[in-house]
Structure 1
Amino acid sequence: MESLTGRNVALLVLCLCAGYALVVADGDKEIPATKLGQNIAPTMTFLYCYSCGYRKAFEDYVNILVEKYPQIQVHGAHYDPPGLNYYLSKIIFALKITIIVSVVSAVSPFTFLGFNTPSWWSHLQSNKIYACMMIFFLGNMLEGQLISSGAFEITLNDVPVWSKLQTGRFPAPEVLFQIIDNHLQFNEKVQENPDFVK
């Protein structure tokens, strides 16, 4: 009876870990405030592919924009790929965490399902450190492949102004400045920094 209670506790812990992993993965979603009727500074948003290594490009653009247009608020976030890939990556993340917790806690999911424990699972449990590292890196690789979109999307006040997915390239800083100037008509709303070196 004690082993049955221990198994129930272990199963409960595995379910809680998987649920927590899914909640944490979707926890960064928030509803943006509407800008209608508000007198606020222009907001530029960059949605980029984090797994593609575009964070450095985003930081470079932020530095250039803050220097030339100090009034613009610049935000950045990871671009979630559309379709099934996003959900598959979340499932793989939860599965990765569940398997790692199972290996570390020496709980066999096959026992709960009524199957004999395979020899490869026993091998994983006898080499816990190696198994957890392998599962972690393999899971990360699969997640990265699923969410790798190549996106570098730019919006200004929620209006799309540049899409790397459509153009296939990053905007040159001069082109981005021209887009900003044309879009906002900076004569009245935002003044350029007079000390900006062109």
Structure 2
Amino acid sequence: MVEGDNYPPPPVQYYLSQLLNVLKLSLIVLIVASQNPFEWINKATPSAYSWALENKVYACLMIFFLSNAIEGQLISTGAFEITFNDVPVWSKLESGRIPAPQEMFQIIENNMRLNQ
């Protein structure tokens, strides 16, 4: 049986990605609702935010895709771990590379022989 799972990112990166997600959604809601939070605090509206209010669709799409790319980088670990009968047999985090298919099949075959 083959099971896939996500290797957990470091907690700081995970929480940063969650914070970015909340900020992204809040900013999109503000833009769609034509709200200007800078007026609430009596500050001058930055030209980028004024542009976003004038070009809602483009600005929201840009915010969505750019922040998703950043979130993905924050939670990406690059892990590729193989366990056989709950015994780790390969770790990209330790070796720094992904095994070649033939190498992977040989590792699994050797472990199957040892477990018989």
Q: Tell whether the structures are fold-level matches, with TM greater than 0.5.
A: yes
Q: Specify the alignment match of 2:81 in structure 1.
A: 153
- Residue type matched to 2:10 in 1? P
Higher helix fraction (1 or 2): 2
State the superposition RMSD in angstroms. 2.2
Contact kept? 2:24, 2:67, Cα under 8 Å: yes
1:131 aligned partner: 59
Query: Which residue of 45, 60, 74 corresponds with 1:118?
Result: 45
Kindly indicate whether the alpha-carbon contact (under 8 Å) linking 1:108 and 1:117 is maintained by their aligned counterparts in 2: no
3-state SS, counterpart of residue 78 of structure 1: coil
Q: What is the deviation of 1:117?
A: 5.2
2:27 aligned residue = 99
CA distance in 2, matches of 1:153, 1:142: 24
1:141-188 per-position Cα deviation (integer Å, ceiling 9, x unaligned) = 21122223221112233332211111111123343334334445353x
Unmatched 5+ stretches in structure 1: 1-72, 188-198
| CA distance in structure 1 between the partners assigned to 2:81 and 2:39 by the alignment | 48
- Map residues 1-198 of structure 1 onto 2, 5 A cutoff: 73-112=1-40, 114-116=41-43, 118-120=45-47, 121-184=49-112, 185-187=114-116
Q: Secondary structure at the match of 2:5?
A: strand
TM-score, reference length from structure 2:
0.78
Structure 2, unpaired ranges of 5+: none
Match of 1:21 in 2: none
Quote how far apart the aligned CAs of 1:111 are.
Answer: 4.2
**Percent same amino acid among aligned pairs?**
52
Whole-Å separation in 2 of the counterparts to 1:168 and 1:133: 35
The alignment covers a number of residue pairs equal to 114
